[in-house]
Structure 1
Amino acid sequence: MVLLIDDDKDDCDIFCDAANQVSECKCHCVHSPVDALSVLAKTQKLPICIFLDINMPVMDGFAVLKQIRSNPKFSNVPVVVYSTTPNPNEAKRALASGADRFIRKTSDYSRLVSMLREVKTELIDGRLGNR
């Protein structure tokens, strides 16, 4: 399972469609950061990758990332921050906070598919071989 934590339902639909083109793995979207942390706490099967938006209500993506990275259960799960923020400092902050990658949301569907292929090749495929 690929997990996307994003409060924007349209972005979730587009992302999951693109993810399904890249991998046969199921894409699951959770719209609330609080719900996402609850899902992760209860899950038996770890996601192969977590994609995380930054700008969300109640709890921002940095707080979610901190919670994920503080749990040893998720130490080998890649986390990709997936956000619209144009601020390069946010990307640096995400990486410094434990994200494996930062990618900017795009309205270009083929570009999204391409970015997800890169993530799959560079972050996911190698780790799956090590599990």
Structure 2
Amino acid sequence: MKTGTNLFADVVIVDDDEDDRFLMDYAIDQLPLNLNVVTVSDARDVLTYLQKCQRPPSLLITDLNMPCLNGFELLNLLKQSTHYRDIPVVVLTTSQAQEDRERCYRAGANAFIVKPGDFSEVTKLLHSCIQIWLGSSRS
């Protein structure tokens, strides 16, 4: 878990793939914004982090297919909680299955996006997500 000592995050990234976490964190760092990003490798870790943080993050980006607790289960837990249900959740996954997309939206996902393979596309995608859910006034 990359949290430092700060118990507040603008953006939380949940992905079991270390390379994907690094890529997304790096892409966000390239944006002309001052954001605190927390990355975790497991959905259980994000639940622990949320219990300790000073306030809920402004955006949570999660992978879908993770061991132990997958993105569907994480979505269900978040959206059933009075404390966390208002956190915007973007599912960023390699899955292109329509069934997965529909299941995520039924569980309360704000967006379902297939991971692009190109770094510049990842950066554009994350910038768009941040503008939508955090506002363009972040700096």
Candidates 112, 129, 134, aligned match of 1:119 = 129
Structure 1 runs of 4+ off > 4 angstroms? none
2:82 paired residue number: 72
Contact 2:27 2:122 in 1 (8 A): yes
Letter of the 1:16 partner, please give it.
Answer: D
Letter of the 1:75 partner, please give it.
Answer: R
Q: TM-score, normalised by structure 1?
A: 0.89
Alignment root-mean-square deviation, CA = 1.6
Letter of the 1:116 partner, please give it.
Answer: L
Deviations 1:78-114 (A, max 9, x none): 1100111121221121111101011111221111111
Identity of aligned residues (%): 28
| 1:123 Cα deviation after fit | 2.2
Q: For residues 51 and 80 of structure 2, what CA distance do their matches in structure 1 show?
A: 12
1:18 paired residue number: 27
**Higher normalized helix content (fraction of residues):** 1
Secondary structure of the residue aligned to 2:83 is: helix
Q: TM-score, normalised by structure 2?
A: 0.84
Letter of the 1:36 partner, please give it.
Answer: V
1:57 paired residue number: 67
Secondary structure of the residue aligned to 1:36 is: helix
Structure 2 gaps, min length 5 = 1-8
Candidates 81, 85, 97, aligned match of 2:95 = 85
Q: For residues 121 and 44 of structure 1, what CA distance do their matches in structure 2 show?
A: 23
Structure 1 gaps, min length 5 = none
Candidates 5, 10, 19, aligned match of 2:14 = 5
